[in-house]
Amino acid sequence: MSILIVDDSPVSRELLSKTLKKWGQHIITANDGLDGLEKYRNNDISIVITDWVMPGMDGLALCEEVRRFIKNKYTYIIIVTSKDQTTDIKEALNKGADDYITKPIDMERLKVSIKTARRIISLSENLNSQIQQNNILIENMKEGLLRIDSNGLITFVNNRLCTVLGYSRNELTGKDIRLLFDNEQREEMDKKIEERKKGISESYELRYVTREGDTFFAMVSAKPVFTSKGAFDGIVAVITDISAIRNAEQERKLIESQLRQSDKMASIGQLAAGIAHEINNPTGFVSSNLNTLAKYIKDYNELIDLYQGFSRQLEQAAISNGWSDLLQKIRKHESSIDMDFLKEDIINLIEESREGTGRIKKIVQDLKDFAHPGEDKPKFADINKCIESTLNIVWNEIKYRAKVRKEYGQIPEVFCYPQQLNQVFANLLVNAAQAITEHGEIGIKTCMNNENIVIELTDTGCGIAKEDIGRVFDPFFTTKEVGKGTGLGLNVAYNIIKRHKGEIAVTSERGCGTTFIINIPANNNDEPLKSVSTEKRAF
């Protein structure tokens, strides 16, 4: 540790130098301010002891120059002068001096000052070392680090954030933080800054815009900074790029959607023969009715032709055998086609045809709704109507195996994805029908239980083995024969119910039947419905 003595008096300079050398100090001397500045710049100086009044550059000017010269460690400056007024002391300290000793120099006082200087320099070196270590950590951390002032201007960004954003540090420093957001997120950022001014620390998600105009999602942990007087001084934020997580989440949602759609298509394939039968029945009698109507119309046309011929003869006002023959033909034909029956049956045929085409339209519409890839947004729907629509689709699977007992309760419409719930009901109803080997019963019950809508589906089928109960919701688990089940149906149903913040449970006894109970919150619209990952649920 070297000490620089700057004094234009050779006697004073030599006397002080000899004393400090006796104390074991390494001494460098300079005869004025300019000489002192030159030697300071060219040597490793820890302490500067300088006279105030000197020709050329005085001691205060030297203080200012030393402070301007950037070194990696602190330099302790002691001013020596005969001036002893309070204003003089304040001026020296304001110019950068650390200590002030009046002439003649009290050597014991100087010894204490040098000891203090060593302690401060040591603390400064330790602090610099800690700062360097922190800087290394900050610059090499995986997260971005950002500091803004009270006006929202960026004062610091680390390397990681610069890399993610595509800007250099110089390009960001001093810029408004709003530069990094689109218009929607700028409004959100303004709200966040106002919350930080209230002293609230928070973690939240924001969407940033890079230099290239791309967006990335980040989790921001923001903490307000205040001055010693309690004034808001800005925000420090740790920014974690979660774009990969978001992309993975979107990919997972896509896979879930594809699984749901795959299960739907498998169900439709399974139900196709039954649906075709349901459509063929009304189509058959509509076709038969139309053929019969065509025959009736033919008879009507023949009778009308006869009446028209009769009308023409009446116009001639000629009563002859020809007129009598024609009248007999009309009476005979009228008797053979039973006019009263035709008039009544035509109305019935038309009504039956209308009902048949209505059934076809309903089946086709329900099938289209069921097969639709899915809804982007939830909406309010009547669960009872959803079940009825699903029954219409799967009816051919059920009607030859079981009778259906319905107990629909008074329940409110629920905020949901109706098509997805229909898929759940279809899976459960078809499974119930397939579990019944002889004619049995399927029960459907809906009701309210506190704040939940409860859907209960029971069957009198073969039941589920005790060892399989805990696995029924596992992906790809099935008790059906190979080729007759994908093992996805109940897993998809489980995840759909979880997406609706609900629960699905199963109880079963071998040989007696199975009951599935679904609970869905009636007030699902309080917060957004979210997709959930595929997971196991055992009961």
Q: What is the pLDDT of residues 184-218, one digit of tens each?
A: 888 888 888 888 999 888 888 888 888 888 888 88
Distance from first CA to last CA of the chain, Å, rounded?
Answer: 75
Asked whether the predicted pLDDT for residue 27 surpasses 90, the reply is yes
Per-residue pLDDT at 434: 87
Residue 453 phi/psi, 5-degree rounding, is -90, 130
CA pair distance 409, 384, nearest whole angstrom: 8
Compute the half-sphere exposure of residue 165: CA atoms within 13 Å on the CB side of its CA: 26
Domains 2-137 and 379-526 alike in fold: no
Q: Look up the CATH architecture of domain 2-137.
A: 3-Layer(aba) Sandwich (3.40)
Taking CA 198 as the corner, what is the angle to CA 196 and CA 199, rounded to the nearest 5 degrees? Answer: 65
Any idea which residue has 């008879």 for tokens?
A: 299
The answer to whether the beta carbons of residues 381 and 418 sit under 8 Å apart is yes
Q: pLDDT category, 266, cuts 50, 70, 90?
A: low
Q: Which residue has the higher pLDDT, 317 or 497?
A: 497
- Can you give the residue ranges of every domain in the chain? 2-137, 142-241, 251-371, 379-526
Average pLDDT of the segment spanning 460-485: 71
Tell me if 331 sits within 8 A of 360, measured CB to CB. no
* 306 neighbors 330 (Cβ within 8 angstroms): yes
Q: Cis peptide before 373, with omega less than 30 degrees from 0?
A: no
- Asked whether residue 362 carries a pLDDT value surpassing 70, the answer given is no
Residues 6 or more apart whose CB falls under 8 angstroms from that of 313 comprise 322, 323, 326
Where residue 152 falls (left for φ over 0; alpha for ψ -120 to 50; beta otherwise) is left
- When pLDDT is averaged across residues 386-414 and rounded to a whole number, the result is 89
Contact 36, 30 (CB under 8 A): yes
On the question of pLDDT at 108 being above 50, the answer is yes
CA 1 to chain centre: 59
Report the DSSP beta bridge partners of residue 221.
203, 238
Q: How confident is the model at residue 257 (pLDDT cuts 50, 70, 90)?
A: low
* CA separation for the pair 455, 145 (Å, rounded): 50
C-alpha to C-alpha distance for 159 and 141, rounded to whole angstroms: 9
- Confidence band of 484 (pLDDT split at 50, 70, 90): very low
Amino acid at 266: A
Range of weakest confidence among 48-52, 436-440, 473-477: 473-477
**Distance in angstroms (rounded) separating the CA atoms of residues 90 and 100:** 10
The reported pLDDT for the residue numbered 210 is 87
- Between CA 395 and CA 119 the distance in angstroms is 91
**Is the distance from CB of 63 to CB of 95 less than 8 angstroms?**
yes
Q: Name all contacts of 187-192 with Cβ < 8 Å and 24+ positions apart.
A: 192/222
Please determine, looking at this structure, whether the domain spanning 379-526 carries the CATH number 3.40.50.10470: no
R_g of the chain, CA atoms, integer Å: 47
Average pLDDT over residues 477-489: 53
**pLDDT in the model for residue 534:** 31
Do 459 and 439 meet the contact criterion of CB atoms below 8 Å apart? no
Q: Among 15-24, 174-183, 236-245, which stretch is predicted with the lowest mean pLDDT?
A: 236-245
| DSSP 8-state secondary structure symbol assigned to residue 27 | E
Give the Cα separation of 522 and 539 in Å (integer). Answer: 23
8 A C-beta contact, residue 113 and residue 105: no
200's torsion region: left (phi>0), alpha (psi -120 to 50) or beta?
Answer: beta
Average pLDDT rounded to a whole number, residues 442-461: 94
pLDDT of residue 189: 83
The top-scoring range by mean pLDDT among 284-298, 320-334, 468-482 is 284-298
**pLDDT surpassing 80 at residue 370:** no
**Long-range Cβ contacts of 281-286 (<8 Å, 24+ apart):** 282/355, 282/356, 282/357, 282/359, 282/360, 283/356, 283/360, 285/352, 285/353, 285/356, 286/352, 286/353, 286/356, 286/357, 286/360
Single-letter amino acid, residue 140: N
Residue 27 or 464, more confident: 27
CATH superfamily of 142-241: PAS domain (3.30.450.20)
- Average pLDDT over the chain reads 81
Q: Which residue has the tokens 């699903």?
A: 390
Distance CA 2, CA 47 (A): 7
Q: What is the rounded CA–CA span in Å between residue 239 and residue 205?
A: 9
* Cβ contact 142:130 at 8 Å: no
**Percentage, residues of the chain above pLDDT 70:** 76
- The backbone torsions φ and ψ at residue 358, rounded to the nearest 5 degrees and listed phi first, read -65, -40
CA distance 36 to 40: 6
Residue 281's pLDDT band (boundaries 50, 70, 90)? low
The residues, any chain, with a CB within 8 Å of residue 110's CB and separated by 6 or more, are 49, 78, 101
